[in-house]
Each structure stands twice: as structure tokens, then as C-alpha cells.
Chains A and B, each alone.
Chain A
Amino acid sequence: MRRWRGRSARWVGAAVIGLVIVTGLVAAAQEPFYKGKTVRIVVGFTAGGGFDTYSRTIARHMTRHIPGNPTIIVENMPGAGSRISANYLYKIAKPDGLTIGHFIGGVLLGQVLGQQGIEFDARKFEYIGAPVNEHPVCALTKASGITSVEKWMAAGTPVKMGGVSPGSSNPDNVTRAIKASLGLPIQIVTGYKGTAEIRLAAEGGEVAGACWGWGSLQATWRKGLDAGEVQVVLQVAPKPHRELPNVPLAINFAKTEEARRLLEAAIHNDSVLVRTYTLPPGTPKDRVQILRKAFQETLRDPALLAEAEKAKLEIDPVAGEEIERTVAGLFKLDPAMIAKLRTILLE
């Protein structure tokens, strides 16, 4: 009896140990991948700019929405209109779901157009989403005398508009596209470091204005807009922004079908991509899904929305799937349109 009890006790003991091991294994398998990990967001522009500000704001809140609550840090890798960081994400960053890139969406179209300095294939990236669908508008100073599209059309000499570098989603692409499709008299003065410098140049009279996202423009040029020294005369989007019901849409001035298609291909599509968050090619699908879900949840998080409101960051989320579709669409543009865009946007 005692012997049997001893044997059974041993069996029970073994069973318990086995159970513990199995449970442990199961628990380990269920332990979220991101627990105790550090996620890096590599921003293609300097600290303090719009791309940086969005990233730091999102980084602070996104950790709560990823199972395992990883630490999220932001690193800046500026240069060449963020092409350096895009190439880094494609060629060097490990595809383990721990490195997220944030560079300007215009470089994706840049690949299709054969822009210099691009060493990635946009079709192979994994896209998480974008916090905002850009809504480009053109703002000009009152001093320039251009207070409406009609006056702009009628201007005798080319109106000087500020730019950053050819191929940049905005201001450059937007300005070049409306010049080509609407026939507006424009001399684009490119090479400014950013929209802040263009604002200064416009206030000093060196240029008349520039075209870039309404979200950023209304936050940074608030005083000029309120005082009436700066006016938004055109918006380059499929629909009017709710805050700008009376400003005309560029597409309505396009006289030919080709001009309409050009605006859509160069600007309307691109607006979805401008502030895209991206993962390296080959990142495991389950991690892509985790980050996509977390990203969308973060952008609905009341704490983030309150902070964005304070920092005047517009939130109008775009899903990763939509970005994927838009990028695929870029590669389906017909060769004639690509050739046309290349001449208009890059030369």
C-alpha cells in the first residue's frame, strides 16, 4: 500500500511538473511579441517639424494600444527630402516590426517617375497608415495683389511661389501641377528649407505665397490669415475642406480631361500618402496587423486627440490598406501620363 502510494505520489508529482511546463510554454507562446521591446520611429526630417511633431505625439500614445506595451522612441534621420530615411528603411533596417519609418509620401511617386536618389521599391514596403489626409491649398499675401483665382489668371507677370525641392509633395508638386493643368502664370522659386522660411519670404515680399496642407498652414500662419494679410485662394483636393466652404477647387478650373487626370494623379492621390508610416519589406504579417490596428486605435484615443488639438495637429486617419491601394495605383499609371508627370514635376 505504502509502495503504491509512493508510486502514485511520484506520478502525481510528474504530472504536476508536466502541467506546469506545458502551461508555462503556452503562457510563453501567448506572451505578446512586443513585451519589453523598443520600437523606433525613424523620421526623415529634423526635430521640431511637422513630421517630427506627429511622430512624437503618436509615439507617446501608441504604446498603450500595442499588446505588450513596448517603449516607443523617435529618431531623426534628416536629409534629401527624407529619401535618406526611406532608403535606410528599405535597405538597412531589420524587418522585425521594431522599426517604423516616417518619410514624405511624395518619394513613392518619385520612384515611379524615376527620381534621383531613390533606392527602394515602394511596392514592397508594408504600410501602417497615415494620421491625416493632406488637404493642399494655395495661400498668397494681400500685398501680392492676388486675392482670387480670377485675378491670378489675369496676372500679367508670373506670380512667384515658394518651393522646397522638385518632387516634394508640397509645396513643389502642388504648385507645378496647378501651373501645368490650369495654366496659371507662376514662377516657382524652389530651394527654401521649409514652409516656415517660405512664409518669411512671402512676408518680406520675395515671393507671393505657396501651396501646402491646410492643417499645417492654418496652424502656422494663423495671424496672417486672421488679419487678412494672407488669403487662401485655391484648394487642390477632390472636395472642399469643411473650414473652407467658399474657396474654389482647382479641379473645377481644369479645362481638359487630361488636366483633370493630371491633378488627380499628381495631387489628389498623393494627399493620402504624404504622412505615411511605413515598415520595411518582409515584416511578418501578424506584426503589420498589430501595428495597423494599434495605429488606428491611437488616432481615436481621446488623450491623443486632446493633445493634437492643443498642438494644432489635424487628425484625419488613413488606413494602411488604402495606402497600399493608392501606391499600387501609382504603378498602374499609363506611360504617357508618367512621362508627362516627369516633365511637369521634376524638370
Chain B
Amino acid sequence: MLVGIAIGFVVGILPGLGGPTTLALMLPFIFKMTPVEAFAFLLGMAAVTNTTGDITSILFGIPGEPTTASTIVDGHPMAKNGEAGRALGAAIMSSLFGAVFGAFVLALTIPVVRPLVLTFGSPEFFMLALLGITFVAALSGQALLKGLVAGGLGLWFATIGLDPVSGIQRYTFGQLFLWDGIGLVPVTIGFFAIPEVIDLAVQGSSIAKLDVGRLGGVWQGVRDTFHHWLLVLRCSAIGTFIAIIPGMGAATTQWLAYAHAVQSSPDKERFGRGAVEGVLGPGAANNSTLGGSLVTTVAFGVPASVTMAILMGAFLIQGLVPGPGMLMPAPKGHLAVTFSMVWTIVVSNIITVAMCFLFLRQLVKITQIRGALLIPFILMLIAVGAFAEKNVFADVLVVLVFGALGWVMARLGWPRPAFLLGLVLGPLAENKLFLSTDNYGLGWLVRPGVLVLLAVIVVGLLAPFVSARRRARSPAAAAVEREARRQRELRGFRLDGTTAFSLLIVILFAWALWQSRSFGVRAGLFPWAVGIPGLALAIAQLARDLTGRRAAPAPETAGESTPDVPPGVAARRSVEICAWIAGFWVAIWLLGFSLATLLMTLLYLKVAARERWPLSILLCVSGSAFVYGLFEKALGVPFPSGQLFVWLGMEAGL
């Protein structure tokens, strides 16, 4: 178990090297173990990746795991405000809380969960997916329309690739790498990490812009966890219970917990600028998910996620059959193994938390390092992380495209979480919508469960308006509203970047619908179901932008304004860093990963950051050695050879 934890610790911190991949790599080692040992090893590893992934999200704004992306939204601004210690303390403590909660729910609910889940059919699962997206979209408050469009856009991007039922190519332009769709990992990394790198370069400072007197504030974060214990408990429950549904992993539950944290707060404006509740919610939820998804795996033998699919393999290797037998005491069943899993989750999380606290102070110092020194290393992690998930070079390019998209969306107040959740839930939603219609025709629409969930969605969408109206009744708010209205009326008809982006989305949806006319019912059902309302909502948004009836920017942009850098300098630095990022990518393509890291780090440190020679050389050599030693040699990541060497005939191309 300790070995598992140690491996999981590293895997969690390094972006792109996901828990599932590592589990698959480690599977061979369990053959010689007893069942209890095997699950201690595997679960120990799986249990900690979410906790340590939070660390990367908070410190660098890069998701350590796709399941820790939501921690960035508030955790990284906290780090920028000099509260990295507090954010880490809160994330780690709430993770422990969530994990323990999930583990105990696993122990307690297995006997009752079976009939409950079996009453849910495909139509109800489809409605649950919709519910998730609308909840997160509704977070955008006044920008609800933008949230829904972004969610729809995410759902549409999820349809790229071979259609899962008939195998028709959808929006692939004949590109082989697009057949399997757009990967969650490169999108998540691009969405959050690239805008952060640009921001870091534009600011020209360290990650933590404010220097706090004492490092850390770790205990403050721990205290926050107990102060908001009810929220942490509720988010743990969200994580555990949503995860029981097959297909809803931590990539989904974290966002739902985040949505809940925002919705339940009386003071929503603080979110996105470093609200500790925004760290506590996802921190608890992504860890409690493990217990929840184990419920489905253990009780039904149906893996709820990739991690669980691999654990299923482990079950079979160990000669155990998942199902009700896991809940009966020996000799008829394997209750002892099930309980050992519960204890493994609890114990490995406690050990992780202890280890985290030991290293926390050193970790926090990273945020005080000059940004210029960090940028090449962050770029290197981004590139390696994007590549290592599927070993496809095109994913490194996907990062760039979504980096640009994420940057624009952040600037213009479009909520990125809604898009991401659309992308995560897209395949599940498409699958369940198809199964519902294939099985019941249109009859599924009138099932009682579907109607109940529809009502919940409508209430969830209307709730922000109702509460906004209630607030508007207070005299102070009314004055603010009058001022805002006056501002809006002044604006009138506008054509600018904001309008152009909305127009782009309208064109994209229209084009997607036009393309999908030839797909046939099997492959076209979901693109139509997403595209038609998506187009309608996007046109409504375009109309709003054109007439100047603009909502205030969503909270997530607020933290990224750059008041301390003059606009001219900011623009110049933006262009420069974009050129550097592009250069880094070209170098990787030409020279391969290790050599490009060596060269570009040196160039960046000397030319852009004007560092001294000894420091530059030390850093670039150690960076390159890290990529080569850990990824290429120890982990055997098959990096492609540099194109230059292929041309020179020194190496064979892929």
C-alpha cells in the first residue's frame, strides 16, 4: 500500500499522467499478492492521485488530473493572492474528509443501493447528465445564456470522432487522430494552463503577486475545512452518490460540487477570485467519488469509470467475482476484502495528508519563485502531460487550440466549466439518449422519473433569476441596477471582439448542423439534439451582444484583470509569450521532447528572462534530464523522434 501511495503521489502531481494509465501499468505486479494486498496497492494509488492533483491545480493552474480541474477556479487565484498555503491546507483536509466519507458510505450503502440504481433506466441517466450541465451553466448567474451556450458547445465537441454506434466519421476532416474524439486531458490542460502561463508572463511577477508575511497559512486552510464542515459534508455526499451512477466519475462530480458550493453561498461574487469554499467543495467531492464508484463496481460488477474498469480486471485476476457475494462473510463471500478496501482508502488518505503537510511549506515557496524561471518548466509539463495520456502528438496541438479558445473565453466572460462539463458528459448523454429512443421511441419522455428530473432542471435554471429579483428589491441593489441599466442604454449597437466571438459560435453551430444533415438517424440524433437548441441560444446571445445588452463579466474573468501592468506593455508581453509558446511547440516537433526542453529552456532563460549563464544552464539541463530520465526512460513514454532527425534520415518517423 505504501508503494502504491508513493506512486500515486508522483502521478497525481505530474499533469497528464493519469491514475488509470498508471493503474494499468501496475496491474502485472498484483499477481503474486493476496487479494487484500492487491487492493491495498491499487486503491492506495488511486486514492491519493486526486489529493496530489489538487496541489498542481492550485500552485500552477494546471490540472494535475482531469479530476482536479475545478480546484483551479478558486484555488489558483488564492495562490496568486499569496494564500497558496491556505488553499492547499483546505484542499488536502477536505480531500481527507471526502475520502473517509466516501469509504464509509461504501461500507454502509452497498446493501440498499442495488435496487435503487436498478430503478434508473437510460432515460433517467440522460436527464441526470442534462441536470449536471444546467446546474453548472446556471452558475454563471446573469450570464446564464452564455453558460448554456458553452455547455452546448462542449456537448457538440464531444460528438467529434467516429459515432459510437454506426462508426460514421463526424467532423473529423478525415484526420485519424480525431477518430477517437477530442481528449479531455489536452482540453483541460489547454483551457486552464495556457491562459495562466500568458497571465504569468504578462504580469512579469511570481505566481503569488501578494507577498504575505508568513509562508503558508496551512492551518488556516485546515480550520476553514472545519468551519465549513456542513458544506464539505454535502459536497462529499454529492461526490459519493453521483459517482454511483456508471459514467459519472470525479471529472463530473467535482464540477457539480463546485456548482453547489457557489449556489449555496450567500456571497457569490467572491467565487473565481479565491473563495476558500470553491476549493473545499471539489476537494471533498473528487476524493469521495472513489468510494461511490466502488459501490457500483463491487455491487454490480459494472465499472463506473476507467479506474474501476482496471480494478475489475484486478478482481478477476484475483479470482473474485464482483457482485452481491462481495457483501457476504466468508466462506460464502468476500466481505473481508470489501472492508479491507474501505480501510485502505481511509488509511492511505491519512498517510497522504501527513506527507503533504510535511512538504507543504516547500511547495508553497514555489509560488514565490520568479515567473520567468517557472514558465519553461510549466510549458514542458503541459506538453508532456498532453502527450503522455494517449501517446499522440496531435494532442499537443489540441492543447494549443484549446489554450487559445480558453484564453478568449476567459477574457470575454464565457464560463469554461460549463464547456468542460459538456465535453465530459457528452458521450454519456449521447449514449443514454440513443438507448432511450432506441428502446422506448418517444415514450421515454413521459416516464415519471424523467418528468421529475425535468422539473428539477427548470427550477435550477429559474432559481438564479428569482434570487436576483429578490435582491434587486433592496434599495441599494436597486440603485446599482439603475446605474447598470443606464450604462447598458449608453452602449447601443456594438460590433467588437465580443460580438465577433458570439458570431463565430453561431457560425460553428450552423455549420455543424449543416454537416450533420447526412449523418442519418443513428449518428445524427445527438448532433441535432444539441445543435438546434445550441444554435437558437447562440443567436439569442449574439442579439444581446449586438444590442449592447451585456451582462457583467462572469466572476472568473475578474481575477485576471491586469491593473498593475500598463495596457501597452501587457499587449507586447502577450504577443511575446504567445510567440514563445509557439516556438516551444515547433521545437518539440522538430527536435523531440528532451532536446527541445534543453534548447528552449536555455533560450527562454537567456533571451526572454535574461538570467545569468550558470542558473540558465543548470535549469535547462535538469529540466531536460527530468523529461528524459523520468518520462522517456523510467516510465517508457514513447515520445516521437524529432522531425528534423527523420528528414536527416537518422531516425525513423512514426
* A interface residues, Cβ below 8 angstroms from B: 46-49, 52-53, 56, 60, 73-81, 83-84, 87-88, 91-92, 94, 115-117, 160, 165-167, 189-193, 196-197, 199-201, 203-207, 219-220, 222-223, 307, 310-312
Contact = CB atoms under 8 A, between A and B. Distances in A.
A131 to B, nearest CB: 15
Contacts, number: 145
Nearest to B247: A193
Interface stretch (B397-405, B430-438, B600-608): B430-438
A94 B652 CA distance: 10
Contacts of A201: 121-122
27 contacts: A47-B310, A48-B24, A48-B303, A48-B308, A48-B312, A56-B28, A56-B313, A77-B180, A80-B164, A80-B179, A84-B179, A116-B168, A117-B162, A117-B168, A160-B439, A165-B164, A165-B165, A191-B165, A196-B301, A196-B303, A200-B246, A200-B302, A204-B117, A207-B439, A222-B321, A223-B324, A311-B317
B166 interface: yes
B66 interface: no
Nearest to A49: B309
Interface of B: 20-21, 23-24, 27-28, 31, 117-122, 161-162, 164-169, 176, 179-181, 246, 300-303, 306, 308-313, 316-319, 321, 323-325, 390-391, 431, 434-435, 438-439, 636, 652, 654
Contacts of B301: 196, 199, 220
Contacts of A204: 117-121
B321 A206 contact: no
A81 B161 CA distance: 12
A93 to B, nearest CB: 9
B337 to A, nearest CB: 15
A167 B163 CA distance: 13
Contacts of A197: 246, 302
B306 A48 contact: yes
B306 A46 contact: yes
Contact of A191 (B31, B431, B654): B431
B265 to A, nearest CB: 37
Given A52-B313, A311-B319, A190 B438 contact: yes
Given A48-B313, A200-B300, A223 B179 contact: no
A177 B25 CA distance: 38
B431 A166 contact: no
A46 B20 CA distance: 10
A80 B165 contact: no
Contacts of B324: 223
A196 to B, nearest CB: 5
A75 B391 contact: yes
A190 B437 CA distance: 11
A84 B306 contact: no
A219 B316 contact: yes
B507 to A, nearest CB: 28
Contacts of A73: 636
Nearest to B176: A87
B20 A47 contact: yes
Contacts of B176: 84, 87-88, 91-92
Contact of A60 (B28, B117, B122, B636): B28
A78 B427 CA distance: 14
A327 to B, nearest CB: 20
Nearest to B297: A196
Contact of A80 (B23, B119, B121, B162): B162
Given A88-B176, A165-B165, 14 more contacts: A47-B23, A52-B313, A53-B317, A75-B391, A81-B167, A84-B180, A94-B652, A116-B166, A117-B162, A189-B438, A191-B164, A191-B434, A203-B300, A206-B435
B166 A166 contact: yes
A141 to B, nearest CB: 12
A189 B435 contact: yes
A160 B435 CA distance: 12
Nearest first, the 3 closest Cβ-Cβ pairs linking A and B are A48-B309, A79-B180, A80-B162
A307 B31 contact: yes
A223 B309 contact: no
A79 to B, nearest CB: 4
Contacts of B122: 201, 206
B321 A223 contact: yes
Nearest to B318: A310
Contacts of B636: 73
Contacts of B318: 310
Nearest to B391: A75
Nearest to A167: B167
A312 B28 contact: no
Contacts of A77: 180, 390
B409 to A, nearest CB: 27
Contacts of B309: 46-49
Contact of B302 (A56, A196, A311): A196
A191 B180 contact: no
Contacts of B317: 53, 307, 310-311
Nearest to B21: A47
Contacts of A49: 309, 313
B171 to A, nearest CB: 14
A273 to B, nearest CB: 18
B312 A117 contact: no
A205 B438 CA distance: 15
A191 B179 CA distance: 17
B316 A312 contact: yes
Contacts of A53: 313, 316-317
Contacts of B169: 116-117
Nearest to B317: A311
Nearest to A117: B167
B435 A79 contact: no
A245 to B, nearest CB: 24
B384 to A, nearest CB: 17
Contacts of B20: 47
B274 to A, nearest CB: 38
Contacts of A79: 161-162, 179-181
B109 to A, nearest CB: 17
Contacts of B121: 201, 204, 206
Nearest to B305: A48
Nearest to B120: A204
Contacts of A117: 162, 167-169, 179
Contacts of B316: 53, 219, 311-312
Contact of A56 (B27, B181, B652): B27
A84 B176 CA distance: 8
A80 B324 CA distance: 33
A119 to B, nearest CB: 9
A257 B576 CA distance: 74
A205 B447 CA distance: 15
Given A166-B166, A223-B325, A310-B319, A203 B161 contact: no
Contacts of B325: 223
Nearest to A94: B652
A81 to B, nearest CB: 7
A220 B303 CA distance: 12
A311 B315 CA distance: 8
A183 B313 CA distance: 37
Given A47-B310, A52-B313, A196-B303, A203 B162 contact: no
Given A48-B310, A80-B162, A116-B167, A203 B118 contact: yes
Contacts of B313: 47-49, 52-53, 56
Contacts of A94: 652
A220 B122 CA distance: 22
Contacts of B303: 48, 196
A117 B310 CA distance: 28
A45 to B, nearest CB: 10
Contacts of B390: 77
Nearest to B309: A48
Given A189-B435, A191-B164, A191-B434, A78 B312 contact: no
B549 to A, nearest CB: 42
A173 to B, nearest CB: 14
Nearest to A84: B179
